[in-house]
Each structure stands twice: as structure tokens, then as C-alpha cells.
């Protein structure tokens, strides 16, 4: 069993890693203290900064949240820019302004996907403060939405959002015994918690529920990975043909559950690790259904019967009201 699976299945052997988790906690606490005391510098661009992150590792719905925020604020007249570390990409010169034609192998999975979905600029830079300055000064953005980076305290922020899926915080331990980057107490300091599960995760206390909102991932359409053709009869096609589903995201089961809810039956389910670098050997020859995040990596070698599901994050109106209120109050 992988370490990540052990975090979410109450395996007792992870207790052996608790001494390392204690060390991780002490080092993280010292780092945060150094920022508070000014021993480590932090700064902020002229633009307003929104952080979309989490207190645990792995994917859990940050990208749909980022896209939803950018679309909403752009419709209100804000000039939005997206900032990402570019995890998994080979780009070496920063800050780098992502093009919609850039491959995920160069810029990372999420930036490649976001640049295809949005018209606003996407910039990658492992030094978030530098990337934020570039978006603010060079690209004239007045709002910067940072995809991940909750723990990147060198970049000051105006609004913090934590995104969670149904797995919550797993066993509740810090790395490496558990999935947490910071303790559960950190949730008290963020502005909003977004969860994308049917029920509020059990780790959300009564105290936190007042700032917790739900995001529903709404399936919008099936798109052919190779041609871009739209299909409205994937369910019928999957019934008539042998069909496989693959997912290389934080929680592949979430995608497979979505297919089941759409009444699509697949003869083969292929879970892969998050940020998996797909090759043509991973791809079955029959009909294949996948996430949009996986499709941007598979497109160069996709065959004619590969399809991805486009989804939109529907978040209750209160969420956007809170963001706008905060942005309007910041000078």
C-alpha cells in the first residue's frame, strides 16, 4: 500500500513516522515565526492577492475553484491574473507567461489546463512573490489568484481560501505520517473553506461551518481529446463499446464516481498517481474516458476514441460576495 493511501485508511504503521512529523512541525513553526518577526522577508504587489490552497497535499479541487473565481471577477470588470508554481514542468526561466499551446511537460498540468480555459494571463514562478510582481507590474493585473501557495508566506495575501474534498484531512497527522502541511488549527485563520463533497467533511467543526461553502462539480460536456469534437451521446457509446476510464488526479475515485452518477459503465478503471506523466503505453486501444487535466497531457498521442469530461465548479453566491467585499475593503 502506498503512503498516500495509508493516510486515508487508518493504517497503524504510519505511527512509526510520527517522530519525523514532529520534526516537520517544529521546522514549519520556526519558519512561520521567522516571517512574523521579519527575519524572513515577505511582500505584496500593488494588485490584490487571493490564495486558493489547502492544508493537505494532493489535488482536491483547487483548479475548478481558481477558474470559477477568475470567471466571476472578470465578469465584474477586474483584470485577473493566475499565478502557479508550475509543478511538474521543465521550464527553467521565470517568471514565465504561459501560452495556451504550451505542453504540460513544460509548464505543469494545472497551468496548461487553466491557460486553455481562461483568457486571463497565467504565469508560473516557483518564487511566488516575483511572479506576483510580474503579473501586477508587467501584465497590469489588479487581482492575482494564486493556485496553491497557502504556505508560501513570502507572498502576503488579502484573501485565503482552503479547498477540501470528501477525504478531509485523512488521519489528521502532519507529513510524512499524514497528509497535512499545517495543523487543522490553520483553518481558523482562513477566510473561506470550500468543500466539494456532498456532506461537509467531518473535520469541519461547528465553529468553522459559518465560513464553509460547497462547490458542486457540474459535468458540462464530453470533448474528443484529439479533434475537439463535442459529443452528447457518450453514455450510449460506452454501452455499445468496451470502455475504459483513467484518472491521474489527487483522488481518482472521485472521477470514477462521477461516471457512475452519469450512468456510464466502464469495463476497466485505471487510477494513476497525481501528476502522472502518461505515455502511449498507458492508453488502452478501446474507448477511453478521462479528466480534462489528464487530457492535456495525453493529447499528443491520443487516438480517435479518447474523450474528456469538461466540468465547471458551481459555488454558492455567498462565496463570491465574500471575496468582493474583501477586495472592496482593501486599499
pTM: 0.93
Domain, as residue range, for 59: 3-215+315-329
Give the model's pLDDT for residue 233.
84
Asked whether the predicted pLDDT for residue 68 surpasses 90, the reply is yes
Shared-domain flag, residues 155 and 294: no
Residue bearing the bigger pLDDT, 270 or 3: 270
Residue 227 has a CB neighbour count (10 Å cut-off) of: 10
Any binding-site annotation on 60?
yes
Any binding-site annotation on 56?
yes
Asked whether the predicted pLDDT for residue 54 surpasses 60, the reply is yes
* pLDDT tens track for 109-134: 999 999 999 999 999 999 999 999 99
Shared-domain flag, residues 307 and 319: no
Shared-domain flag, residues 208 and 288: no
- Per-residue pLDDT band for 1 (boundaries 50, 70, 90) equals low
Shared-domain flag, residues 181 and 235: no
Any binding-site annotation on 258?
no
Asked whether the predicted pLDDT for residue 16 surpasses 80, the reply is yes
Residue 293 has a CB neighbour count (10 Å cut-off) of: 22
Q: Summarize the chain as % helix, strand, coil (round to 5).
A: 35, 25, 40
The CATH number given to whatever domain includes residue 89 is: 3.40.50
Any binding-site annotation on 61?
yes
Shared-domain flag, residues 142 and 238: no
Give the model's pLDDT for residue 5.
86
Any binding-site annotation on 163?
no
Shared-domain flag, residues 66 and 20: yes
Asked whether the predicted pLDDT for residue 263 surpasses 60, the reply is yes
pLDDT above 90 covers what percent of the chain? 86
Domain count, the chain: 2
Any binding-site annotation on 63?
yes
Residue bearing the bigger pLDDT, 22 or 8: 22
Give the model's pLDDT for residue 216.
93
Any binding-site annotation on 88?
no
Give the model's pLDDT for residue 238.
83
Any binding-site annotation on 192?
no
> What stretches of 171-283 show up as alpha helix (H) in DSSP?
234-240, 252-261
* 21-49 b/e (C-beta count within 10 Å ≥ 16 → b): beebbeebeeeeeeeeeeeeeeebbebbb
- Per-residue pLDDT band for 58 (boundaries 50, 70, 90) equals confident
Amino acid at each position: 500500500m502506498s503512503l498516500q493511501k495509508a493516510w486515508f485508511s487508518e493504517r497503524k504503521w504510519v505511527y512509526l513516522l510520527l517522530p519525523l512529523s514532529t520534526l516537520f512541525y517544529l521546522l514549519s513553526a520556526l519558519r512561520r515565526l521567522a516571517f512574523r518577526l521579519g527575519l524572513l522577508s515577505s511582500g505584496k504587489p500593488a494588485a490584490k492577492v487571493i490564495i486558493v490552497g489547502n492544508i493537505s497535499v494532493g489535488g482536491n479541487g483547487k483548479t475548478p475553484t481558481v477558474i470559477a473565481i477568475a470567471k466571476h471577477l472578470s465578469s465584474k470588470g477586474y483584470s485577473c491574473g493566475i499565478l502557479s508554481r508550475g509543478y511538474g514542468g521543465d521550464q527553467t526561466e521565470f517568471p514565465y507567461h504561459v501560452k495556451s499551446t504550451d505542453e504540460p511537460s513544460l509548464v505543469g498540468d494545472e497551468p496548461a489546463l487553466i491557460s486553455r480555459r481562461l483568457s486571463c494571463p497565467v504565469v508560473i514562478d516557483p518564487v511566488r512573490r516575483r511572479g506576483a510582481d510580474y503579473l501586477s507590474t508587467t501584465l497590469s493585473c489588479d487581482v492575482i489568484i494564486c493556485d496553491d501557495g497557502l504556505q508560501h508566506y513570502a507572498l502576503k495575501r488579502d484573501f485565503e481560501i482552503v479547498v477540501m474534498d470528501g477525504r478531509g484531512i485523512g488521519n489528521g497527522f502532519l507529513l510524512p505520517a499524514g497528509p497535512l502541511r499545517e495543523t487543522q488549527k490553520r483553518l481558523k485563520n482562513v477566510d473561506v473553506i470550500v468543500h466539494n463533497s456532498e456532506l461537509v467533511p467531518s473535520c469541519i467543526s461547528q465553529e468553522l461551518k459559518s465560513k464553509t461553502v460547497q462547490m458542486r462539480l457540474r459535468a458540462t460536456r464530453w470533448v474528443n481529446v484529439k479533434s475537439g469534437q463535442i459529443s452528447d451521446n457518450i453514455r450510449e457509446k460506452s454501452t455499445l463499446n468496451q470502455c475504459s476510464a483513467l484518472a491521474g488526479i489527487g483522488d481518482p475515485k472521485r472521477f470514477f464516481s462521477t461516471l457512475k452518477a452519469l450512468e456510464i459503465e466502464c469495463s476497466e478503471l485505471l487510477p494513476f498517481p497525481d501528476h502522472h506523466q502518461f505515455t502511449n503505453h498507458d492508453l488502452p486501444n478501446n474507448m477511453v474516458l478521462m479528466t480534462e487535466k489528464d487530457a492535456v497531457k495525453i493529447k499528443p498521442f491520443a487516438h480517435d476514441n479518447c474523450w474528456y469530461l469538461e466540468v465547471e465548479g458551481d459555488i454558492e453566491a455567498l462565496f463570491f460576495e465574500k471575496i468582493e467585499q474583501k477586495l472592496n475593503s482593501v486599499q
